[in-house]
Amino acid sequence: MASDAQTTTEYIKHHLQNLTYGQHADGSWGVAHGAAEAKAMGFWAIHLDTMFWSVLLGALFLWGFRKAAKRASAQTPNGFLNFVEWIVEFVDDNVRGSFSHKNDIVAPLALTLFVWVLLMNTMDLVPVDWIPQIAQLMGIEYMKVVPTTDPNATFGMALGVFVLTLFYSIKVKGLGGFAAELTMQPFQAKNPILKILFVPANFFLEFVSLISKPISLSLRLFGNLFAGEMIFILIALLFSGGAVLAVAGGVLQWAWAVFHILIVLLQAFIFMTLTIVYLEMAHSQH
């Protein structure tokens, strides 16, 4: 617990508040103090903590994997090299298993998404108070360390995937082919008049399924990690309730962390797999 003066509600809300940078109501630019101020900033505000941790972890991934790739040789590989090789092979197997067209971008994209999401999710396993407390000592009021518990981050990644699916849909099938895919199924007809009559219904169904892809992709990742974080915060509340509850809280924290490793890995894997599947759908002709 941060301090005794805080109520549990304040504690939870404090943990769920991002460090937001944007334009204040009086026109000046700066960091928001409190949820109401952050909300007043509206659309043109940026979450500094999310950006910082996601970019830092992305850079860590690039640096580590580049280092491993440069050291790769025909001799016996050592620890970290083995690990990187194992991940690359794992992703490669998955891409070969579910992607059947020729495209050089899919496997690197899948690798990046998998390792990056995995690293961001792993931040959830750091005890919830450690980094925010350190940040508070440095004078930073709010600090949310898990980027994937911020819907902005997951929506950003899902939008990137969505743009790629649109791009390859149009590139592979042509604008006409893509439009036909949106309007000529699932209801099909031989009769040209009937075909035109089916267009609005088909377009509605296909458009909903097209839009639901990035939304479900991002909300799934966000929801799982947010739920995990929420439970960690609620367990952390036990530490303020005396010695017995604190011990129980420690055990629970550990137990939930062990269970959460499954979710952390699984959600990163699902994000990668669904990205591959969406790109495969974008490439396949009807």
Buried b (16+ CB within 10 A) or exposed e, 234-266: bbbebbbeeeeeeeebeebbeeebeebeeebee
Contact track, another protein, 39-68, x by CB under 8 A: ------------------------------
Number of residues counted as binding another protein (CB under 8 A) = 21
- Report which of 113, 86, 85, 62 is spatially closest to residue 276, judged by C-alpha positions: 113
Nearer to another protein, 35 or 56 (CB): 35
Enumerate long-range contacts of 110-113, CB under 8 Å, 24 or more apart. 110/272, 110/275, 110/276, 111/87, 112/61, 113/157, 113/161, 113/268, 113/271, 113/272, 113/275
**255 is a site residue for another protein (CB under 8 A):** no
Among 226, 236, 276, 283, binds another protein (CB under 8 A): 226
Does residue 1 bind another protein (CB under 8 A)? Answer: no
257 binds another protein (CB under 8 A): no
Identify the residue among 127, 151, 177, 223 touching another protein (CB under 8 A): 223
Contact in structure between 229 and 122 (CB atoms under 8 Å): no
Looking at beta carbons only, is 183 or 224 nearer to another protein?
224
Residue 216 a catalytic site member: yes
Give the nearest distance from C-beta 107 to another protein in angstroms.
17
- The residues facing 21 across adjacent strands are 31, 46
Q: Is 172 in the site for another protein (CB under 8 A)?
A: no
Near another protein by CB under 8 A: residue from 3, 4, 7, 76: 7
Amino acid symbol at 127: P
**Helix (H, G, I), strand (E, B), or coil: what is residue 44?**
coil
CB nearer to another protein: give 2 or 234.
234
* Member of 107, 234, 245, 248 binding another protein (CB under 8 A): 234
Distance CA 217, CA 235 (A): 28
Angle of the 8-15 helix axis to the 192-236 helix axis, nearest 10? 130
The encoded tokens of residue 56 equal 């830092």
- Please identify, using beta-carbon distances, which residue of 224 and 253 lies nearer to another protein: 224
Residues making contact with another protein (CB under 8 A) = 7-9, 12-13, 16, 219-220, 223-224, 226-227, 230-231, 234, 263, 266-267, 269-270, 273
Which amino acids are annotated catalytic?
A: 216, 220, 224
